[in-house]
Amino acid sequence: MGNAYSISYTCYIQLLSLCDYYLEINNQNLNEVYPRIYVGNLSTSLNKELLKQTGITHIIIALTGLSPSYPEDFKYLSLSAIDDKSFNLSQHFENSNNFIEQALQNKDNKVYVHCVCGVSRSVSIVCAYLIKKYGITPVEAIAKIQTQRKCANPNEGFIAQLGEYLENNKFEKNKLPNFYPE
């Protein structure tokens, strides 16, 4: 059994390295996708100096099995989540929305949301926040995030859950401000 774990762990490390390389060459390690909300990858979450320089105060971990790296420096919300279309990510939407909303009440706070690559889980969490705040569709939320983070691409199961979240809650439709020119 140890051998299967070693192969699995080795593949995981190789995948993480490829992910980091792709994101680094495309300048996608850390992006402000909404004023004071950043999306990024696991490696960036371990770069305390960069997080501090960026002014990050709050971190959402959308990843199973990862403990906060710097609990004395940042306020954390850990969400146990896997990037699988059958995983129920929507169970975390209200908790993450409340965490973001509470953090942003202080104009000096900034929130960093990450998973492994900053492509699916973390983007979906921020989409849920934009959907609740503006009553926009998942497609609109993803498109807005993609203006700043080109690699944003939630899996189809998460997109469906975001659609259900909008439909089931009947959020008030507000005009999404043009916080970043497209």
pLDDT (0 to 100) of residue 7: 42
Q: Say how far apart CA 57 and CA 59 lie, in whole Å.
A: 7
Residue with tokens 């009553």: 135
pLDDT score at 175: 82
Q: Where are the domains of the chain?
A: 30-169
User: What's the pLDDT score for residue 178?
Assistant: 79
**CATH superfamily, region 30-169:** Protein tyrosine phosphatase superfamily (3.90.190.10)
- In tens digits, the chain (182 residues) has pLDDT values of 444 334 455 555 555 555 555 545 444 589 999 999 999 999 899 999 999 999 999 999 999 988 999 999 999 999 999 999 999 999 999 999 999 999 999 999 999 999 998 999 999 999 999 999 999 999 999 999 999 999 999 999 999 999 999 999 989 888 887 776 55
pLDDT given at position 157: 98
Neighbours of 50 (CB within 10 A): 16
Q: pLDDT at position 10, please?
A: 58
| Integer CA distances (angstroms), 173 to 131, 132, 137, 139, 162, in order | 9, 9, 10, 15, 15
**Which of the residues are catalytic?**
115
In angstroms, the CA 49 to CA 35 distance is 21
Taking the C-alpha atoms of residue 35 and residue 48, their distance in angstroms, rounded to an integer, is 21
Q: In the prediction, which pLDDT does 92 show? A: 99
Nearest to 41 by CA among 117, 134, 122: 117
* CB-based burial, 138-153: b 16+ in 10 Å, e otherwise: bebbbebbeebbebbb
Nearest C-alpha neighbor of 54 from the set 40, 42, 69:
40
The enclosing H or E element of 141 equals: helix 138-146
152-172 residue pLDDT tens: 999 999 999 999 999 999 898
Distance between CA 51 and CA 71 in Å, rounded?
Answer: 13
**pLDDT of 21:** 53
Chain centroid to Cα 56, Å, comes to 14
Give the pLDDT of residue 20.
54
The greatest distance separating any two alpha carbons of the chain, rounded to the nearest whole angstrom, comes to: 54
